[in-house]
Chains A and B, each alone.
Chain A
Amino acid sequence: EPEVTQTPSHQVTQMGQEVILRCVPISNHLYFYWYRQILGQKVEFLVSFYNNEISEKSEIFDDQFSVERPDGSNFTLKIRSTKLEDSAMYFCASSGVWDTQYFGPGTRLTVL
C-alpha cells in the first residue's frame, strides 16, 4: 500500500541553524501539506502546496519557512533560522482532490 515517507525521523539542531525536512508524498497525489505538533498540543496546519505553488498557509508559516518540490517525488520544508519554539513533530501529508489526507510518520525536530 502506498505511503508517505519522511526523513530524517529525528533532527537535532542548534538555534539559528537551517534545517530541511524531507518528504516523499504518495505518487499520484496532487496536494501536499505540512503540519506540526508541539508536544502536548494539537496538530496545526502550516502550509498546502498544489501545482508547484503554495495554495494556502497559516499565520505560523512566516518568512523563515519555505517549501519546495525540487523534483517529481520530493517535497521539502526548510526552516531558515531555527528557534527554540520550532521544536515539534513535523508531519507531511498528501491527498487527491478533496480526499483523505495521508500522513507520514513525522520528523521530530529538537532545537537546542
Chain B
Amino acid sequence: KQEVTQIPAALSVPEGENLVLNCSFTDSAIYNLQWFRQDPGKGLTSLLLIQSSQREQTSGRLNASLDKSSGRSTLYIAASQPGDSATYLCAVLTQGGSEKLVFGKGTKLTVNP
C-alpha cells in the first residue's frame, strides 16, 4: 500500500530565503507525482506534475525533482515571498492501473515579511 510522507510538517522562513520541501513515498512504482498548493479553507492548485521518466520540472520560482528509485521528491522554492505562504501537498499516482492520487499530509509554509 502506497504511503506518502512529507517533512517538515511546518516551516517558517524570512522573505527572500530559498527553501526545500521534501516528499517520500514507499512504493517506487509510480506513474507520476504532483505538487499542489492549498490555501486555508480552499481547494488544491496544481503546481507541477513530474512523470516517472522525468527527473525535474520547473515553473517560475518552483523546481520539483524526482528520484523514483529512492522514493523521493523535493520542491525547491526560490526567493520566497509572503504570498507563497500556504500548505504544499505532494501526491503520487501509483502504477498498476489505479487512478487514485495518494496524498501526503503536507508542509505548512509561512514566509515572514
Question: What residues of chain A have their CB less than 8 Å away from a CB belonging to chain B?
Answer: 31, 33, 35, 41-45, 48, 50, 55-56, 58, 89, 91, 98-106, 108
Is B102 close to A, CB under 8 A?
Answer: yes
Q: Encode B21-55 as 1/0 by CB contact (under 8 A) with A.
A: 00000000001101010000111111001000000
Please choose the segment from B10-18, B66-74, B77-85, B91-99 that sits at the chain A interface, where 4 or more of its residues have CB less than 8 A away: B91-99
Total cross-chain contacts (CB, 8 A): 51
Question: Would A102 and B89 count as touching, CB distance under 8 A?
Answer: no
How would you classify the secondary structure of chain A's contact residues: helix, strand, loop or mixed?
strand
B→A interface (CB under 8 Å): 31-32, 34, 36, 41-46, 49, 89, 91, 93, 98-106
Question: Do A33 and B43 touch (CB < 8 A)?
Answer: no
Does A98 lie within 8 Å of B31, measured CB to CB?
A: yes
B37 to A: closest C-beta gap in Å:
11
Q: Are B43 and A106 in contact, with the CB atoms below 8 A?
A: yes
Chain B residues, CB < 8 A from A104: 43
Chain A: CB-nearest residue to B104: A42
Task: Verify A103–B46 contact, CB threshold 8 A.
Answer: yes
In the complex, the answer to whether A55 meets B99 with C-beta atoms within 8 Å is: yes
Asked whether A101 and B42 contact (CB < 8 A) given A45-B100, A48-B99, A56-B99, the answer is: no
Tell me the smallest distance from the CB of B58 to a CB of chain A, in Å: 15
Contact (Cβ within 8 A) A43 B103: yes
In angstroms, Cα B103 to Cα A101, docked, is 13
> Which chain B residues border A50 with CB–CB below 8 Å?
99
